[in-house]
Structure 1
Amino acid sequence: MTMDPLLLTGEVDAATDRLLRTAATFDGPDLAAASLLPAWSRGHVLAHLARSADGFVNLLTAARTGESIPMYASAAARDADIRAGASRPPEAHLDDLRRSADRFAEAVAAMPVEAWTATVQARLGPWPAAMLVWGRLREIEVHHVDLDAGYRPADWPEGFGHRLLHEVAASLNGRADAPPMVLRFDGSRHELVIGDRSAAPTLTGAAPELAAWLIGRSPGTVLAVTPDGPLPQPPEWI
Structure 2
Amino acid sequence: MTMDPLVLMTDVEQSTEALLREAEGWDPSVVAEPSGLPGWTVGHVLTHLARNAEAYTNLLVWARTGVETPAYANPAAREEGIEAGCRRPLAEQLGDLRAAHDRFADAAAAMPAAAWAAHLPPIGQSAAGVPWARLREVEVHRVDLDRGYTPADWTDAFALRLLREIVAAAPEGSPALTLRPLGLEHPLQLGEGDGPAVSGPTKSLAAWLAGRAGGADLTVSPDGELPLIPRWK
Where on the TM-score scale, by shorter chain, does this alignment land: which range? Answer: over 0.9
Q: 1:228 Cα deviation (Å)?
A: 0.9
What corresponds to 1:204 in structure 2? Answer: 199
2:109 and 2:74 map into 1 onto residues whose CA distance is 26
Q: 1:196 Cα deviation (Å)?
A: 4.1
Unpaired runs of 5+ in structure 2? none
- Aligned residue identity for 1:8: L
2:212 to 200, 217, 229: 217
What corresponds to 1:74 in structure 2? Answer: 74
1:230 to 213, 225, 228: 225
Provide the TM-score with structure 2 as the length reference: 0.95
1:229 and 1:19 map into 2 onto residues whose CA distance is 38
1:188 and 1:104 map into 2 onto residues whose CA distance is 34
Assess if the C-alpha contact under 8 Å between 1:59 and 1:121 holds in 2.
Answer: no
Q: 1:10 Cα deviation (Å)?
A: 1.2
Q: Does 1:180 align with 2:176?
A: yes
- Across the two proteins, how many residue pairs are aligned to each other? 233
Q: 1:74 Cα deviation (Å)?
A: 1.5
Provide the TM-score with structure 1 as the length reference: 0.93
Assess if the C-alpha contact under 8 Å between 2:173 and 2:191 holds in 1.
Answer: no
- Aligned residue identity for 1:161: A
1:130 to 124, 128, 134: 128
1:112 and 1:187 map into 2 onto residues whose CA distance is 38
CA distance 1:195–1:79, shift in 2 (3 Å): closer
What corresponds to 2:155 in structure 1? Answer: 157
Report SS of the residue matched to 2:230: coil
Assess if the C-alpha contact under 8 Å between 1:70 and 1:121 holds in 2.
Answer: no
1:43 and 1:54 map into 2 onto residues whose CA distance is 17
What corresponds to 1:107 in structure 2? Answer: 107
What corresponds to 1:47 in structure 2? Answer: 47
What corresponds to 1:4 in structure 2? Answer: 4
RMSD between aligned alpha carbons? 1.3
- Aligned residue identity for 1:92: E
